[in-house]
Structure 1
Amino acid sequence: MHLLMNCLAAWQQQARAVLLVGLCAGGSLAAARAQGAPTVAAARPPRAYTRAAHLMGSHFTFTAVSSDDSLAWRALRAGMRETGRIDRLFSYWDSTSQVVKINRMAGIRPVVVDQEVYDLIARTLKISQLSGGAFDITFASGDKIYQFDKTEHASLPDSATVRNSVRRIGWQKVRLDPAVHSVYLPEKGMRINLAGILQGYGVRRASEIMKKMGIAGGLLNGSGDVYCWGKQADGSGWRIAIGDPARPQSVSSWLTVSDMAVVTAGNYEQYFTVAGKYYGHIINPHTGYPATGLRSVTIICPDVELADALDDAVFVLGPQVGLAMINRLKGVDATVITDDGQTLVSKGMQLNSYHSAAAATVAKTPVTR
């Protein structure tokens, strides 16, 4: 428990406003005008401003609530620029990125990286420890033996092929040197990929910049990694919908939040089937097989970066063990949808289910592996 809380502590760092003018105030204003006194223009009501872009290989939508048009657009541009900068810095594909440099030097020598890169990698390793390796950025070391083409496959690869595919995976192998902030992958063929946390990190950094610029309310959505703060322009909270894996483009449940991240991972967009059983793109780094048992995982907590990593971890751990882990973390909640369509929630989760969705069941009993 102490380890779990210490690990979590590392992270624990649209619409109108209505202006009511009474009769008395109206009379005072008329009197002031009659006397030639200067008048103050009424404050403009806040509005929602939205900008979209393709970043990190995904669709991002940023919304800022402000009564200042110029400020809103400047903040949106700044947030998008920051997300693009992070994409280039940590890209798994861009030959100039520091992640690519680390991977190229695997089994050869350590690579000195920017403090920002070092720190994010260090945080991912803490989540690996927290989750027992269910979240592991060295998953990129695995061989690509599956094709997630949404079709029926005759069978899974043979067991020997699967075992061999994960032989180089292991977060414990990553060597960090805090003195020079270097990263070393000790085996040739090892690779890291921060895709499981990068969108959350990009959204977090963008929101921090926009807040500093004076945006008191906003919602940033990086392909399902959502973070919102403040209020909508009408003063209400942000309503976030959770998709229904069994009925694409429909909603299974929703919740109203503010100053909170809502991050969802699902296996219903990238998958294949064998004998009618779904196998999604999230691989269990321990076994090499696609994680099974869940169709969707949604994490709710104040830190979108942390939530982005935890959804994959819960997916790998499965409904019982995954929710047991969430139940041990302060300020973190989750809802999951199982392969058979059940909706389960962590003990602190307040979820609004649509009539078409099955009633949520609270998973209260900790389960250990």
Structure 2
Amino acid sequence: MPYLLNWPCALRSKALLLLTTGLLAGSTVAAAQTKPAPAKPRNFTRSAHLMGSHFTFTAVSSDDSLAWRAIRAGIREASRIDRLCSYWDSTSQITQVNRAAGLRPVVVDQEVYDLIARTLKLSELSGGAFDITFAGGEKIYKFDRQEHAALPAPEVVKASVARISYKKVLLDPAQHSVMLQDKGMRMNLAGILQGYGVRRAQALMKQMGIRGGLINGSGDVSCWGKQADGSGWRIAIGDPAFPQSVSSWLTVSDMAVVTAGNYEQYFTVKGQYYGHIINPHTGYPAIGLRSVTIICPDVELADGLDEVVFVLGPEEGLAFINRLKGVDCTLITNDGRTLASKGMQVNYYHNAGAPTSAATSAPKP
């Protein structure tokens, strides 16, 4: 040390710099050796009661804060859409349109206008099997899971659908207004609203940086990216014959899987099963099917298509789906048969327990 101190000033400074640099380099190496490994992605899940149904939101992220922020944003978005379009909310824009039926057009948000316009396109495509004016029909059935003596009289059934007609929904694109042509008409977007809510929530979560996730809106399932372990999303399809059990499953990514069933709300007449989905043309419950599962990239479209297939029935419904590009389905008939569209790839489950899955596409109520 004295030797160092007797060096000329410039040499002492250089030596001290070298010593200091060496110490810092050693510290840097030590820090690099002890630096924690990057956080691994995890699945973050939260449930919420929205649109009168049970929703679950899953975000895949290595950032806890981002995942929870995105999930909260998704929940708020679905809740916003419900307030905007709910049939039951006295302040919603749909309620305003219904109150003015047969009187005047109602100016609605562009978002609501566009959603209604898309439902009318689906109605046209399906020949009226899907119809948002079904709410104007008279409630003449009681789906109490009991045996009934008979169906209502034919004239009562016919009268019950007199105010149902999607062709009497009048749109003005310049004013983005909506009018129901006749008094007593009512529209209800329930057949597609959950799918739209899921789609909008998913888009928002992706925009916030969530690269993988899944939203299940009471049977309306939409997923994107991969799970935290890098695998795809495994979706189980419920078995109508054995509630709470699984009939089949499939692994998907960037896809929607929507299941509708009429085996929770029904009645029987002379052993014939009648579910709660009504044919808007005839007024009678749609028959022939117990469960419909639609697979396509757009959860909103899938939400509407399952009802179309129910109304059309097994054979015609399957043929309808086979004509659509990028859409597949699997159907379970009243007599227990399973039918599938041309491109459908599903794993049928025959063992006692359900497979491990990220979500179950149970039937919508």
TM normalised by structure 2 equals 0.88
Name the residue aligned to 1:203.
Answer: 198
1:42 shift after superposition: 1.2
Name the residue aligned to 1:304.
Answer: 299
Name the residue aligned to 1:133.
Answer: 128
Q: Which amino acid aligns with 2:229?
A: D
Distance 1:114 1:161 in 2: 37
Q: Give 1:57's match in structure 2, choosing from 52, 69, 88.
A: 52
Indicate whether 1:144 and 2:145 are aligned. Answer: no
Q: Give 2:42's match in structure 1, choosing from 22, 33, 47.
A: 47
SS of structure 1 residue aligned to 2:248: strand
Distance 2:29 2:114 in 1: 63
Name the residue aligned to 1:20.
Answer: none
Distance 1:341 1:161 in 2: 31
Matches within 5 A, 1:321-336: 321-336=316-331
Aligned residues: 327
Does structure 2 conserve the Cα–Cα contact (< 8 Å) formed by 1:267 and 1:295? Answer: yes
Does structure 2 conserve the Cα–Cα contact (< 8 Å) formed by 1:252 and 1:356? Answer: no
Distance 1:34 1:77 in 2: 40
Name the residue aligned to 2:231.
Answer: 236
Q: Which amino acid aligns with 1:285?
A: P
Instruction: State the superposition RMSD in angstroms.
Output: 1.4
Name the residue aligned to 1:351.
Answer: 346
Distance 1:184 1:275 in 2: 42
Q: Sequence identity, in percent?
A: 77
Name the residue aligned to 1:258.
Answer: 253
Matches within 5 A, 1:186-201: 186-201=181-196
Q: Which amino acid aligns with 1:305?
A: E
- CA deviations 1:225-275 (Å, max 9, x no partner) are 000111111110000001110110111000000000000010011111112
Q: Against the structure 1 CA distance between its residues 167 and 236, is the aligned structure 2 distance closer, same or farther, given a 3 Å change threshold? A: same
Distance 2:278 2:28 in 1: 74
Q: Against the structure 1 CA distance between its residues 68 and 283, is the aligned structure 2 distance closer, same or farther, given a 3 Å change threshold? A: same
Name the residue aligned to 1:14.
Answer: none
Distance 2:351 2:128 in 1: 36
Name the residue aligned to 1:70.
Answer: 65
- CA deviations 1:79-117 (Å, max 9, x no partner) are 000000000000101110000000000000000100000
1:151 shift after superposition: 1.3
Return the index of the structure with the highest Cα Rg: 2
Instruction: Extract unaligned runs of 5+ from structure 2.
Output: 1-24, 353-365
SS of structure 2 residue aligned to 1:102: helix
SS of structure 1 residue aligned to 2:304: helix
Does structure 2 conserve the Cα–Cα contact (< 8 Å) formed by 1:32 and 1:38? Answer: no
TM normalised by structure 1 equals 0.87
Distance 2:262 2:29 in 1: 69
